[in-house]
Chains A and B, each alone.
Chain A
Amino acid sequence: MITLENVSYAYPRADREAVSEITLTLKGGECVLVTGHSGSGKTTLCLAAAGILEHEYGGKKSGRVTVDGKDVREYHDLTDISTRVGILFDDPDSQLLFTTVEEEVLSAIERRGFSVAEVEERLAQVLAVTGLEELKDRPPHALSGGQKQRVVLATTLALGTDILILDEPTSELDEQGTESIVRLLEEFKAQGKAILIVEQKFTKLASLVDRIVVLENGRIRNEGPPATVLQDEIARRTLIPDFSGIRTRSPAVNGSVPMVCTRGLTFSYGEEEALSGVDLSIAQGEFVAIVGENGSGKTTLVKHFIGLLRPGKGTVTVDGKDAAKAPIAELAHSVGLVFQNPDHMFFADSVFDEVAFGVDNLGIPGREQAVMDALATVRLTAARDLYPRWLSRGERQRLAIACVLAMQPAVLILDEPTTGLDGSESREILEILKQLQEKGHTIIMITHSREIAGQCADRVIHMEAGRIADDVRAEAAHG
């Protein structure tokens, strides 16, 4: 269905190729998983396979790509190619143009020469299989990340093309959401469709995948059936996250000093109650994971620790300070919050200046040393003069941690620090966090992944509908 022969490509003004000498075949009824570190060329490979590089991008190209037996250059334009290939990009927000879910899906199928009845039938069908019937009148931009991904998937599937290229279609879905997408794709595969999918969650997709391609610096490092590829140690660590050995006996947890303490914490967004009566105490030096479905109140809870939200009712004390009243700048001396998307913070021209921003704001003495220490901890010393946005996603995530770390807070909070990272990059982040815990920091991490929570944290707090449903010490839960 798709062949790539010796494809190399460099973006305009880039000094190295994004993909090099890629040769790959995708057959009908087959699912190929593309994986690798962030910045290894996965998205570029998708753009090449869909013929988009050929038609829409400048830069240096070589090699040949065919879709359905025809050279992509012979297709008239993207609209022409889109009748053969359905493609989904990794950022759902850039693919939502309209104000209702139904309009969004219609926009993908109403310019294809179908009859009215056919369009209506496809619309109803695709809304049903993606579970969007109840959301059809809602504005897509106001949905949750996972719901947005389902809307974008629906627009991709609506055309019924035989080839699907999906770039991280489940990155923001929780486990249940991911399973339902996998079942759907299995059905498509059984119908003979060809699927090229970029994902980091191999373990969740194992039943679907026939072949794996592991990219490294734009080149294919491994290719073959899962059993063969998994024999390679490095590929295995990329595909199957291994967090063993990260949790050691809890060091220096000082149970008598509560670092974070909430009593009867209640908070509402308008009329919607997001937290109801949360009582929580986190000791100095603990490594705590907070898990729960989208919308269960995880982020709302931690925003109270640094004063970004103030309690409606109840109290919050952090490092002895009243977090209901203390100014954010004062709380920032005690608490560092690393948000989910590192791109929400970068604005400086160099990695060094980016980290120095927080240090300067808080007036921390020994500026140069504070910045370089933080960069050394996250293993980015060599990148000090680079432009932050040129780093890979994994490096940007580590930089975000350094920015907060350099401010020397006692408590470090991270919101989904492993989103979009492969197994070995995720492990690297968790090793850094563990190291920080050993130095005496209190670590609070929000995560979707039960594996990470269960294998790395000393304590797992499970949130459900704004309450703490479960609070388990890891030793007790996992022996």
Chain B
Amino acid sequence: MAEILQYIPGDGIFHRLHPVTKILFIIIVSVVTILTSSIPLLAGLLLLIFLLAFAGHLLRPVIQQMILILLMSIVIYLITILTVQDGAVIGYLVPSFIPLIGGSIPITVGALTVGTVLTLRFAILISAFQLFVISTQPRDLVHTMERARVPVDYTLMFIIALRFIPTLQIEGKRIHEAQLARGYHPGDGFMGRIRSVAPVMVPLVSNSLSRATLLGLTIDLRGYRTRARTRLRERTFGIADKVAIPLMCLAGVAFLYGFLTSSLL
């Protein structure tokens, strides 16, 4: 089973970067992505992320994730076509040769543009975040956040949420199999599907809740409430970090300048 958002050991460029550099990367990429609606700029950013993933030997998981984004983009395009009516009409969602209802729901250029922008934004944000998570050891992240004075509870919440994704995947599959063996069949129709969720979700949630107590005890027993930590195998800023940080800052400032002046004008 493909594992979602799990650390992949490796020695690529992304693995060697300091977590701070990677967090800065995510922040700058996110800000640019949210502010701009220029399709060439967004496409360029996505290409940049792919290039970075390729250089860091992480292209495959990033591409795999794209399948999910493609599925999501269909929904996005549908919503924008239904809600945005702007610019030239280039076709109809219901083809005109169908009698009576043919030719309804026009597809406009504006809708496609908005759909493309939104899809690119999702693709960039998700893959940048994914690239960060799969190349950063949770331990390094805890240390970095601790240094930034972020309470350890928040960091642990974050890494535990990620860590239990595969466990829930595996457990969900096992529960599903156990219920299939009892002749369970996902119901028909919408309501049937809703009702049929219980045999899988109830055991999954109950088992996870009973696990939470032990998990909390484990964290306390390992001394996570104390700040005194032996500083071993600390991540230090390497040459790549020293080059990347000023470059990213420059690019960010340049973008902001361009954005502000163009929107002020």
Flag if A97 contacts B218 (CB, 8 Å): yes
Give residues of chain B (137-170) contacting chain A, Cβ–Cβ below 8 Å.
137-139, 156, 159-160, 163, 166-167
Q: In the assembly, what is the distance between CA of A98 and CA of B203, in Å? A: 24
Given the known inter-chain contacts A343-B203, A344-B175, A344-B203, please indicate yes or no for A361 contacting B182, CB distance below 8 A: yes
| Pairwise interchain contact A97-B183, C-beta atoms closer than 8 A | no
* Complex alpha-carbon distance, A328 and B181, angstroms: 7
Chain B residues within an 8 Å CB radius of A99:
6-7, 137-138, 163
Chain A 53-86 interface 0/1 with B at a Cβ cutoff of 8 Å (1 = within): 0001000000000000000000001110110000
Pairwise interchain contact A56-B211, C-beta atoms closer than 8 A: no
User: Would you call B184 and A97 a contact (CB within 8 A)?
Assistant: no
Within 8 Å CB of A109, what residues of B? 230
B219 on interface, CB distance cutoff 8 Å: yes
Q: Which listed residue, A112, A113, A114, A346, touches B203 by the CB 8 Å rule?
A: A346
| Cross-chain contact A306 with B181 (CB below 8 angstroms) | yes
Flag A400-443 by CB within 8 Å of B: 1 or 0 each.
00011001000000000000000000000000000000000000
Say yes or no: A94-B181 contact (C-beta < 8 A), given A78-B221, A79-B223, A112-B223: no
What CA separation (Å) do A19 and B182 show in the bound complex? 36
Cβ-based interface call for B101 (8 A): no
Q: Closest chain B residue to A269 by CB distance?
A: B1
Q: A337 with B181: in contact, given A142-B166, A357-B199 (CB under 8 Å)?
A: yes
The smallest C-beta distance from B221 to any residue of chain A, in angstroms, reads 4
Smallest Cβ-Cβ distance to B214: which chain A residue: A94
Counting CB contacts under 8 A, is A332 at the interface? yes
A142 to B212, CA, bound (A): 19
State whether B198 touches A347 (Cβ < 8 A). Answer: yes
Contacts of A244 in B (CB 8 A): none
Tell me if A403 and B182 are in contact (CB < 8 A).
yes
Complex contact B174–A89 (CB within 8 A): no
The answer to whether B218 and A95 touch across the interface, beta carbons within 8 angstroms, is yes
Q: Is the CB of A94 within 8 A of B203?
A: no
Instruction: Give the chain A neighbours of B7 by CB distance below 8 A.
Output: 99-100, 139
Considering the complex, give the chain A residue whose CB is closest to the CB of B139: A103
> A residues 23-48 with Cβ under 8 Å of B?
none
Q: Which residues of B contact A107 (CB under 8 A)?
A: 139, 222
Q: How far is the CA of A91 from the CA of B174 in the complex (A)?
A: 17
Interface SS majority for chain A: helix
Which of A115-123, A249-257, A283-291, A376-384 binds B? A115-123
Alpha-carbon gap, A332 to B9, bound state (A): 42
Chain A residues with CB under 8 A of B225: 77, 79
Residues of chain B within 8 A of A96, CB atoms compared:
163
Say whether A362 contacts B221, CB under 8 Å. no
Interface 1/0 per residue, B182-219 and A, CB below 8 Å: 11110000000000001111110011000110111111
Which residues in A have their C-beta under 8 angstroms from that of B220? Answer: 56, 77-79, 82
**Are A344 and B228 also in contact (CB < 8 A) when A79-B221, A328-B181, A332-B183 are?**
no
Q: Please indicate the chain A residues that have their CB under 8 angstroms from the CB of B166 in the complex.
A: 141-142
A108 to B226, CA, bound (A): 12
Could you say which interface size class chain A belongs to? 35 or more
- In angstroms, Cα B198 to Cα A195, docked, is 42
In the assembly, what is the distance between CA of A100 and CA of B8, in Å? Answer: 10
Which chain B residues lie closer than 8 Å to A120 at the CB level? 232
CB distance B230 to A347 under 8 Å? no
| A96, B138: Cα distance in complex, Å | 12
- Answer yes or no: B241 CB below 8 A from chain A CBs: no
CB within 8 Å for A357 and B182 given contacts A78-B221, A103-B139, A308-B177:
yes
Chain A residue nearest in CB terms to B140: A103
Q: Which residue of B lies closest to A360 (CB)?
A: B183
A155 vs B218: C-alpha distance in the bound complex, in angstroms? 10
A357 touches which of B138, B184, B201 (Cβ 8 Å): B184
Given A113-B228, A119-B230, A344-B203, verify A91-B214 contact (CB < 8 Å): yes
With both beta carbons as reference points, the residue of chain A lying nearest to B167 in the complex is identified as A141
Shortest C-beta distance, A424 to chain B (Å), equals: 26
Chain B residues closer than 8 Å to A98, beta-carbon distance: 137-139, 159, 163
Contacting pair A141 B163 (CB below 8 A): yes
- Minimal beta-carbon separation of A313 from chain B (angstroms): 22
CA distance A357 to B139 in the complex (A): 44
A108 & B232 in contact (Cβ 8 Å cutoff): no
Minimum C-beta distance from B26 to chain A (A): 19
B167 cross-chain contacts in A, Cβ below 8 A: 93, 141
User: Is A232's beta carbon under 8 Å from chain B?
Assistant: no
Cβ contact within 8 Å between A111 and B163: no
A312 within 8 A of B: no
Out of A52, A137, A155, A347, name the residue touching B199 (CB < 8 Å).
A347
Which one of A97, A119, A347 contacts B159 once the chains associate, using CB atoms below 8 Å? A97
Known: A89-B214, A107-B139, A361-B185. 9 other contacts (CB 8 A): A79-B220, A89-B217, A95-B214, A110-B230, A112-B223, A120-B232, A332-B181, A345-B178, A404-B181
The 9 A-B residue pairs whose C-beta atoms are closest, nearest first, are A361-B183, A347-B202, A94-B214, A111-B223, A99-B7, A358-B182, A78-B220, A116-B232, A82-B221
Interface of B toward A, CB cutoff 8 Å: 3, 6-7, 9, 137-139, 156, 159-160, 163, 166-167, 171, 174-175, 177-185, 198-203, 206-207, 211-212, 214-226, 228-232
Q: List 19 A-B contacts (CB under 8 A).
A: A77-B220, A91-B211, A91-B214, A94-B211, A95-B215, A99-B6, A99-B163, A110-B230, A116-B231, A119-B230, A141-B166, A142-B3, A142-B166, A329-B185, A332-B181, A332-B183, A357-B199, A361-B183, A407-B183
